[in-house]
Structure 1
Amino acid sequence: MLNQTPKKHFTLKLLMVLFLTATVSGCSQSASSSKKQSNTSKNTITLMQTNELLSLDTSNHADLTTWNILENTMEGLYKADSKHQPAPAMATKVVSPTANGTLYTFPLRHNAKWSNGDPVTAQDFVTAWQRSVAPTAKSGYNYIFSGIKNADAIIAGKKAPQTLGVKALGRYQLQVELEHPMPYFNKMMVMPAFFPENQTALKKFGNNYGTNSQRLYYNGAFKATGWDGTNESWTLKPNKYYYDKKAIHLQAIKYLVVKDPNTAHELFEQHKLDDATITGVTAKELQKDKNLIHQKRAGNYYLRINLANNQPLTNNNMRQALNLVLDRRALTKDVLADGSVPAYTYTAKDLATDPTSGKDFASEHQPQQTYNVALARKLWQKGRSEAGLKKTVNLTLIGDDQTVTKNVAQFVQASIQKNLPAVKVTMRNIPEKSASAAVKSGKFNLAQTLWLADFADPISFMGILTKNNPQNYGKYNDDEFNQLYQAALESSTSTNQYWQNMNKLEERLNQTVPVLPLYQMVESHLVNPRLHGVLSHPVGENDYTRAYLK
């Protein structure tokens, strides 16, 4: 889904972004205080985000904070249900393709309206998708439209966005034409990248669309208010035009940006947060707290490597060496302590089962060697010799300024400098907006990155490492990988061939090491016991639209 500090961006999404940590004060709670947990209004909850909200324009921005807000204020063709499967939203049913799997025709509900009272129409989807797939779109997510007719040519600037294979068959019928079958296409339709955009708002606000909470309209259960484009708090309020407003129980959902888990814990204890994300010392000491829950996410946190010309880590042996000096078990146990588990493969575990073997896809590809300092030193020296690097290798490690990101950076820095000779790692932990800009411009050697799957298929991970993908900020360019990826797309109607290509892709990444996997996210949350009705998904953001306080 999303990639954060470069999502995806999110989560996705990434799907760009990062993390959390802390110390602890008393966590006992009386029965009377439990009853008045969190807010003065019984119909208001307060939640946290770990990074600033930078935009609400899905065509020009994609990160976890943006998508979290949009998934609670907007709806696409489908929403994810309690079993994490696509369910009707703007579409009245989950449709099956025709024309040998290449044509989807979606009937749209007639009673859906935007927060300004406009009806939601098929043209709102057409306009949004054409805007998002354009080569001028800045979200870094236009590649997600690949597979829809003419999308690749549009992204490359060879065709106009208006030629995208999507059209309105009247006001309430949308048709999408694919270049080849995509068995996972319905799963993709829950993603914010495919949300509609109100045409009136696009014309009215122009280049300022989505730059604050008033400069767009919402078709979901809530609308965002109180965000001026820079502040660190905002509120979601019910959309009076929502088609299912009788199912909405909350009067407001308040958001605060909280970067430090210790602060999050304190706010929870003060009844100022209904859901607090914690990690590090705080998480470790609160693992037996009655209000603690764990949420496993289908995403891996890894180090993106800059492989552009003249970068010091273009040598494969040096990258293999870095991979072998990182003790992931120590990282997850002693630094994170929030339930997160070591990651040894690029694709996250529990994302998908390989139907040809019946095994977890990622688990099939765990390397035999995961932590071996002696071997790492040999590979490092060999790589330095091959690359002609006689002096100390200076590496810049960039990430955002959350507490957990800094702690992970310190762990990586110490692991590399302690275990390998002639190398210096400089940490740069800066605000998310600045970190994202630095990564996009290639001003890094290693970049702390979280990628959350957009949908439950390994191809959701693979796409961003292809040659021309706009989120391939590390400039990984491997002919064999690119060819295998294309072969996977073209073989999607053959289960055996498709998964054979998927397996080869993961193995190729083990061989070439364009990223250094660190851990798979398992979030620790302190949750108000009175909060019910929240849908939590391993892929995508939490759905609070039907939440209530009991």
Structure 2
Amino acid sequence: MKKKTWLGLIFLAIFSLIVSGCNFSSSTEEKDDKKEDEKEADGKVAQVLNLSATADIPTLDSTKAHDAIAFDVLNNVNEGLYRQDQSNQSVPALAEKHEKSEDGIVHTFTIRDAKWSNGEPVTAADFEYAWKRVMKEAGAYNYMLVTAGIKNSEAIMNEEMDAAELGIKATGEKTLEVTLESANPLFETLLAFPTFLPQNQKFVEELGDQYALEADNILANGPFKLDNWSQEQSWKLVKNEDYWDAGTVKIEEVNVFVVKDPSAGANLYETEKIDRVKLTSALIDQYVEDKNFKVEKDSGIVFLRFNHNHPVLKNSEIRRAIGMAVDRQGLTDVILKDGSSPIYGVVGEGFYFSPENKDYRELNGDFNKGTPEEAKAIWEKALAEVGQTELTVSLNIADSDEMKKVAEYLQAQLEDNLPGFKLDIKAVPFAQRLEIEKAVDYELSLSTWGPDYSDPMTYLDMWVKGSSSNRMDYSNPKLDALVHDARGETDLSKRYEMLLGIEKVLLEEDAAVAPLYQRGSAILVRDKIKDLAKHPTGAEFTYKWAHIE
């Protein structure tokens, strides 16, 4: 533990009063008592995991959930046909058997014997009901069923067909048949996503609009049960003894406390109330020498969008020069200091591998990487070609601390390295930043992207013409054709070549966006925590294999 300043001690005393409603305390006596409580009567270490979250759970209705916090809880209290394993691979879970037709279009699943926490069996009908409900309710992630290629899903999403016509049906109590539009190499990968979880129809409909809003209003069929949920304060998971694979689960209890202030989270870690905490850049220098300080690579990226309708920014060489003029190493090492790393592509490094087990980023290399002098030369030539001597544009950003720091760095870099360039920063709330992007009512926008599933396509198909994630009116028929062909290609090596080609069109040919950095996390985590699975997509954590040493 680091030596605290008097200011830190005063803050900690005040903080202990503020959070007393959550049963937190910083007293020496209770801290010593806690150490004793960590050992059970037989001398074994108590299998209790204490974590924090930055916000409360909005809903635990899997057909409507659209945030990482809800996905984490759902992933641990529920289980679908597949789930992510410790290596982030999608593996069978409630699917005891999975058979495919010769053409790869019809998939038949046999559901293993499993129970809901009210004692009722999990059936094939539970999957049919939930997936059709996703389409009927037009949930935030209904497009995932389209990405999975389930028959009629796109027509239903476009309101051309009814949700009842989705290509899924229970053909027996334990037999589920799913029909796709065509063979889809992503299908099994996507099945681990929380939107594909089952629901008990009778339970959901009895609760109506109160379903999944309280601990008692949700059923579990996974490794844990939701035991308690105190709104805006905390929630508690306990081991589900009726889980089909309960013998694998070692953790008996998981407590998650809602802690919105980063400094408060660090203090809770120091007083041993939580076992893992994420640090902001402002706290990193304070803890960088701590033995439990670690940095982790994340799968999300931060990049610059360009409005492709802008009279100057529509020029690809102007865009290339802007991206090339930024020293990304200085940005990540000096400004962020949180484990983020420079990136010169839109697909993250370290998570996505070819059938030959080669990292996507290694295979495709860096795009538009150069020196300030090279950027200046491209800039001046392109500026002359468009008949300009200078350019003033605004940058649309979310008003978070991270984005403000990055924007100020970009402003200094671009104005120093590109003669005649001036950047104005416009900070707005995150939700408004998204709305401005959707309307393409900006010049430059500082954007973030977190992948939805474990495949490079989650970074690549967002750039097709008309995509809701495009948000800059970019279009290239060559890219659209490659995405279309890759979606249906069942030869995995050929498909991967197509995926590499999509990024080459986007960045090598068009310099359509300017990737800046791949996010990282600076954390404090106790070394007693073992085998806590952290995933790059979907739910962040799986507690199923974790244990306390």
Deviation, structure 1 residue 347: 0.7
Alignment RMSD (CA, Å): 3.7
Asked if the contact 1:132–1:142 (Cα under 8 Å) also holds between the matched residues in 2, the reply is no
Partners of 1:347 and 1:384 lie apart in 2 by 29
Distance verdict in 2 for CA 1:38–1:271, change over 3 Å: farther
In structure 1, the residue matched to 2:497 is 500
Partners of 1:526 and 1:38 lie apart in 2 by 22
Deviation, structure 1 residue 108: 0.9
Partners of 2:4 and 2:462 lie apart in 1 by 42
In structure 2, the residue matched to 1:65 is 69
Distance verdict in 2 for CA 1:203–1:135, change over 3 Å: closer
Instruction: Map 1:171-320 onto structure 2 (within 5 A).
Output: 171-206=173-208, 209-210=211-212, 216-220=218-222, 221-223=224-226, 225-226=228-229, 228=231, 231=232, 233-239=234-240, 242-245=243-246, 247=249, 249-258=251-260, 260=262, 262-280=263-281, 282-283=283-284, 286-297=287-298, 299-303=299-303, 305=305, 307=307, 309=309, 313-320=313-320
Distance verdict in 2 for CA 1:206–1:413, change over 3 Å: farther
**TM-score, normalising length from structure 1?**
0.81
In structure 2, the residue matched to 1:126 is 128
User: Could you say which structure has the larger radius of gyration?
Assistant: 2
In structure 2, the residue matched to 1:353 is 353
Partners of 1:283 and 1:47 lie apart in 2 by 19
Distance verdict in 2 for CA 1:462–1:133, change over 3 Å: farther
Asked if the contact 2:342–2:518 (Cα under 8 Å) also holds between the matched residues in 1, the reply is yes
Deviation, structure 1 residue 330: 1.1
Distance verdict in 2 for CA 1:139–1:123, change over 3 Å: same
Paired residue type of 1:530: K
Partners of 2:424 and 2:342 lie apart in 1 by 22
More moved, 534-543 vs 199-208: 199-208
Cα deviation code 1:240-298 (max 9, x no counterpart): 654445635323422324453x443332112122111125354356445322344333x
In structure 2, the residue matched to 1:160 is 162
Cα deviation code 1:415-465 (max 9, x no counterpart): 3344343422314253x555555555555541331323511x322322222
Asked if the contact 1:56–1:213 (Cα under 8 Å) also holds between the matched residues in 2, the reply is no
For structure 2, the 5+ residue unaligned runs are 9-27, 40-45
Asked if the contact 1:25–1:266 (Cα under 8 Å) also holds between the matched residues in 2, the reply is no
Asked if the contact 2:372–2:417 (Cα under 8 Å) also holds between the matched residues in 1, the reply is yes
Partners of 1:474 and 1:38 lie apart in 2 by 58
Asked if the contact 1:413–1:427 (Cα under 8 Å) also holds between the matched residues in 2, the reply is no
Instruction: Map 1:515-530 onto structure 2 (within 5 A).
Output: 515-530=513-528
Paired residue type of 1:520: Q
Deviation, structure 1 residue 98: 2.7
For structure 1, the 5+ residue unaligned runs are 1-22
Q: Secondary structure at the match of 1:393?
A: strand
Distance verdict in 2 for CA 1:105–1:387, change over 3 Å: farther
In structure 2, the residue matched to 1:99 is 102
Asked if the contact 1:327–1:371 (Cα under 8 Å) also holds between the matched residues in 2, the reply is no
Paired residue type of 2:174: Y
The answer to whether residue 458 in structure 2 is matched with residue 460 in structure 1 is: yes
Q: Secondary structure at the match of 1:516?
A: strand
Partners of 1:311 and 1:71 lie apart in 2 by 47
Partners of 2:543 and 2:334 lie apart in 1 by 32
Distance verdict in 2 for CA 1:50–1:352, change over 3 Å: same
Paired residue type of 1:416: L
If each structure's helix is expressed as a fraction of its own residues, which one has the higher value?
2
Partners of 2:474 and 2:213 lie apart in 1 by 32
Asked if the contact 1:353–1:359 (Cα under 8 Å) also holds between the matched residues in 2, the reply is yes
Asked if the contact 2:81–2:191 (Cα under 8 Å) also holds between the matched residues in 1, the reply is yes
Q: Secondary structure at the match of 2:482?
A: helix
Deviation, structure 1 residue 239: 4.9
Distance verdict in 2 for CA 1:92–1:148, change over 3 Å: same
Paired residue type of 1:194: F
In structure 2, the residue matched to 1:7 is none
Partners of 1:371 and 1:263 lie apart in 2 by 41
Alignment coverage as a number of residue pairs = 514
Paired residue type of 1:537: H
**TM-score, normalising length from structure 2?**
0.81
Q: Secondary structure at the match of 2:265?
A: helix
Partners of 1:313 and 1:66 lie apart in 2 by 39
Partners of 1:329 and 1:319 lie apart in 2 by 20
Asked if the contact 2:234–2:255 (Cα under 8 Å) also holds between the matched residues in 1, the reply is no
In structure 2, the residue matched to 1:11 is none
Asked if the contact 1:98–1:104 (Cα under 8 Å) also holds between the matched residues in 2, the reply is yes
Asked if the contact 2:51–2:254 (Cα under 8 Å) also holds between the matched residues in 1, the reply is no
Partners of 2:315 and 2:145 lie apart in 1 by 28
Cα deviation code 1:42-88 (max 9, x no counterpart): 45432123455444344334232232222222211122223333333
Deviation, structure 1 residue 124: 2.0
Partners of 1:414 and 1:38 lie apart in 2 by 54
Cα deviation code 1:469-493 (max 9, x no counterpart): 3333444332221111001122x22
Cα deviation code 1:1-60 (max 9, x no counterpart): xxxxxxxxxxxxxxxxxxxxxx99599xx9x97995698794543212345544434433
Partners of 2:469 and 2:193 lie apart in 1 by 17
Instruction: Map 1:44-83 onto structure 2 (within 5 A).
Output: 44-50=48-54, 53-83=57-87
Deviation, structure 1 residue 530: 2.5
More moved, 178-187 vs 165-174: 178-187
In structure 1, the residue matched to 2:548 is 549
Distance verdict in 2 for CA 1:412–1:524, change over 3 Å: same
Instruction: Map 1:140-155 onto structure 2 (within 5 A).
Output: 141-142=143-144, 145-155=147-157
Q: Secondary structure at the match of 1:203?
A: helix
Q: Secondary structure at the match of 1:136?
A: coil
Partners of 2:527 and 2:283 lie apart in 1 by 19
Aligned sequence identity (%): 26
In structure 1, the residue matched to 2:25 is none
Q: Secondary structure at the match of 1:236?
A: strand
More moved, 268-277 vs 241-250: 241-250
Asked if the contact 1:38–1:528 (Cα under 8 Å) also holds between the matched residues in 2, the reply is no
In structure 2, the residue matched to 1:482 is 480
Partners of 1:380 and 1:61 lie apart in 2 by 44
Partners of 1:24 and 1:65 lie apart in 2 by 33
